[in-house]
Amino acid sequence: MRKLVLFLIVLVSLSACQNSHNKEVRKQKEELVAIDLDDIIKRGKIRVITDYNSTNYFVYKGRPLGYQLELLQALSNTLGLKLEIVVSNDVEKNFASLLEGKVDLIATNLTITRDRSHQVAFTEPHCITRQVLVQQKPSPDNNPSSAQELIRNQIDLGGKTVYVQENSAYVSRLKSLGNEIGDSIHIVEIPDYEVEQLIALVASGEIPYTVCDENLARINLNFYDNLDIETAVSFPQKIAWAVRPNANNFKDIVDNWLINFKKTNQYKRIYRKYFINKRSNHLVDANFHSIKGGVVSDYDAIIKEESAKYNLDWRLIAALIYQESRFLPEVKSWAGAVGLMQLMPQTAESFGVEEITSPKDNIQGGLKFLIWLDKRFAEDISDPDERLKFVLAAYNVGPGHVEDAMRLAEKNDKDPHKWDDSVDYYLLNKSKPSFYNDPVVKYGYCRGEEPFHYVSDILERYTHYKNVLND
């Protein structure tokens, strides 16, 4: 009888704890920022946080790439919304940013766990992988006294020290594994290192072991041929994105999109590109990888040197040069523009360019032209960020056509000093007779679609460069 009473007391206590936990979860959900699909559509863009590594998001030879980036681009294109990406490798900060309404979606390789499900709502999984142990292969070059044998049995992790990213799913998995094998695994959580940085430390011998998702680990074998990743420490696990628990409509549309998109050839191509191909195209030359080499082009040093003379962000100029020439100094357009910054011969002459195909001379001339354009628009447009859009458009199509679009905007009661949804609209439509034949237009027909996309493409690329390249 006494045992029964004690059992009932424990049962009631557990039930009370569970009820208290459920109330706390409900309270947290009620206090969440209320931002759902309608608000996102009204805003016109999806705000996303992702992590920066050699698979999810990076720049290679000036081009933004990544598994998560390509999925997000496909999603935003389907929804007809712009994509705003911020970068963070801190799991807890990412959760906080989501719950505080700073972003709408965490687009990383999040392992679905019960604990995390109390904080966020997971989407349909975008892939399935397992956690593996990353260790060095034994090598004849190793000091025989310090050489370690490969761990193949999880039991042999007992007593070993494993370094993992702080607050990651790897921590909880290793704790569970320690209980399963009945031995202690010494887990060291590293707060300021991302998974790939820990992989690099294993490769260099600075730490003995780390744990990583298998698909990411396999990519890193392209960089470190002395690593072994064949020992699994988990069963296959679902990997997903996360949204706020109260963003039900947004979650539904993302879930439905993922379910359908994973059936397409486009998704299969993206997944093969980043996780299956033995040596993906973006790994051909690690020097040009933003993580491994940090080099955008062969001309980074010149771009940085010349940009500094005018207090310009070299990443902006690199984004423009990529748009103009893909960093090919000998390229010549159908219209006769030449070099890295695609200068017309008369423009090059006006700004004192001696050798138009010389990378340095061409960049110097292009920067002088940009500064000249900036001064031309400075009197009317005081905000430098807003003025930049006008300057870029003018660099592409000439200031006259941009000023025509400004006059059209003013005539139609729009702000002639605002680019988005104002001047950009009239420049875009300047190929139509009803626009270029208007009396306020001085420079006639313009194929406006090109400068319209030119501005948005460069600014988008510039944002990517700022996300992953040091200034």
Six-digit token string for 161:
């020290």
Residue 188 one-letter amino acid: V
Catalytic residue among 324, 330, 349, 354: 324
Contact call for residues 278 and 48 (beta carbons, < 8 A): no
**CA–CA gap between residue 190 and residue 109 (Å, rounded):** 18
For the sheet with 161-165, list strands across it: 186-190, 161-165, 210-213, 131-136, 227-232
CA distance 222 to 132: 17
| Helix, strand, coil % over all residues of the chain, rounded to 5 | 50, 15, 35
454 Cβ contact list (under 8 Å, min separation 6): 323, 392, 393, 396, 397
What's 158's DSSP letter?
T
- Which secondary structure element, helix H or strand E, spans residue 50, and what is its range? strand 45-50
Q: How far is it, in rounded angstroms, from Cα 354 to Cα 368?
A: 14
Cα separation of 153 and 180, whole Å? 13
> How many angstroms separate the most distant Cα atoms in the chain?
102
Three-state SS for 179-239 is HHHCCCCEEEEECCCCHHHHHHHHHHCCCCCEEEEHHHHHHHCCCCCCEEEEEECCCCEEE
**Measuring CA to CA, how many Å separate 460 from each of 46, 47, 71, 373?**
14, 14, 16, 21
Which tokens sit at 239?
Answer: 């990997």
Count other C-beta atoms under 10 Å from residue 286's C-beta.
Answer: 15
Task: Decide if 166 is catalytic.
Answer: no
Under 8 Å between Cβ of 97 and 108: no
Provide the annotated active-site residues: 324
